[in-house]
Structure 1
Amino acid sequence: MKLIASFFGVGYLRPAPGTWGSLAALPVGYVLLLAGGFWLLFAATLIAFVAGLIATKAIIATGDDHDPSWIVIDEVVGQWIALFPVAYGAAMMGVEYWQLYPGWIAGFALFRLFDIRKPWLVGMADRRGDALGVMLDDVIAGVFAAVVTIVLAGIAHGVLM
């Protein structure tokens, strides 16, 4: 369970294990995209969410901390969600995934911002104090980051101006 929750030990890196988890999600997400495209990344995100929920539930049941900092599978899931528009957009336009690097950067930075600041629904999910809350706050942060990334891409490409 600890192997899944820590994303193969990445959660034990210091400082800022959540940022390390998000960073580790980027190359793994890229490899998933190269191997199977958007739908493989989507499927991996669902699998990681379920596995992370099960692992987190088991781990927090044995301790006092409802969200140990070394649990970073939630950051991986949220970061992959933040990359959905980039992955889908690259596939739709028929370009290499790396060519949308501004979207990768924006997705990463925005996800970390929403995950750290925990605005609105992100904070509500985090305050649940259970395994679902641990996973859900990062899912919501990932969705927020994805939406803002879409808006920024629209502005950059003149669609929203």
Structure 2
Amino acid sequence: MTGIARLIGTVLGIGYIRPAPGTWGSLVALPWAWLLHLLGGLPLLLIAIITAFAKGWWATAVMTRDSTESDPSEVVVDEVVGQWIALLPLSYAAWSRGIDVLTMWPGWIAAFLLFRLFDILKPGPVGWADRRGDALGVMLDDVIAGIFAAIGVLALAWLYHGVLQ
């Protein structure tokens, strides 16, 4: 069972890429989010987020069970989940308006950069979740960072489309 947990937790081995495995995990999340959106729009992306969160929580618990390290750097499934959450405003806008999600490419860049910023700096509740020191905390800090990034994407979209244009 640990082999399956390792495949899930490292996102098929992406977590072993150095340097910056979390950034690689976030990067691989982008084309997967596009594919999920293409195949099923916002509903499929939401299902994928929930599924990946549940499987990631389990995989992280298995991978850290006999370890002193509560958040090994090779576990990047949490980055995938957080990055997908950061992309939700773009998926919603494209899905609800029937437009190509890639036409909002500046939003994709903003979602990536904001998510990485919040994941690295760990402000407020992101840091609280990270300090839990358990598998749920590993997943939650990236969920919260993803929510912060999604709010940032919405704020930037409002600024650009509502104020500057």
Amino acid at match of 2:37: L
2:10 to 3, 6, 16: 6
TM-superposed CA distance for 1:29, in Å, is 0.7
- The alignment partner of 2:73 has SS state of coil
- Which residue is 2:114 aligned to? 110
1:55 to 50, 54, 59: 59
Number of residue equivalences:
161
- Which residue is 2:126 aligned to? 122
TM-superposed CA distance for 1:132, in Å, is 0.4
Percent identity, aligned pairs only, is 57
TM-score between both structures, scaled by the size of structure 2: 0.95
- Which residue is 2:49 aligned to? 45
In 2, Cα distance between equivalents of 1:106 and 1:7: 23
- Which residue is 1:82 aligned to? 86
2:153 to 132, 146, 149: 149
In 1, Cα distance between equivalents of 2:117 and 2:152: 12
Amino acid at match of 1:135: M
TM-score between both structures, scaled by the size of structure 1: 0.97
- Which residue is 1:99 aligned to? 103
Q: Is 1:36 aligned with 2:34?
A: no
Amino acid at match of 1:155: L
In 2, Cα distance between equivalents of 1:140 and 1:23: 18
Structure 1 contact 66–130 (Cα < 8 Å) conserved: yes
TM-superposed CA distance for 1:93, in Å, is 2.2
In 2, Cα distance between equivalents of 1:71 and 1:147: 25
TM-superposed CA distance for 1:159, in Å, is 5.5
Q: Is 1:67 aligned with 2:68?
A: no
- The alignment partner of 2:19 has SS state of coil
Q: What are the Cα deviations for residues 60-110 of structure 1, in whole angstroms up to 9, with x where unaligned?
A: 112110000000000000000000001101122221010011111100000
- The alignment partner of 1:54 has SS state of helix
TM-superposed CA distance for 1:160, in Å, is 8.8
In 2, Cα distance between equivalents of 1:103 and 1:49: 23
Q: Which runs of 4+ in 1 moved over 2 A?
A: none
In 2, Cα distance between equivalents of 1:160 and 1:63: 51
RMSD over aligned Cα atoms: 1.2
* Greater Cα offset, 84-93 or 7-16: 84-93
Structure 1 contact 49–135 (Cα < 8 Å) conserved: yes
Structure 1 contact 26–80 (Cα < 8 Å) conserved: yes
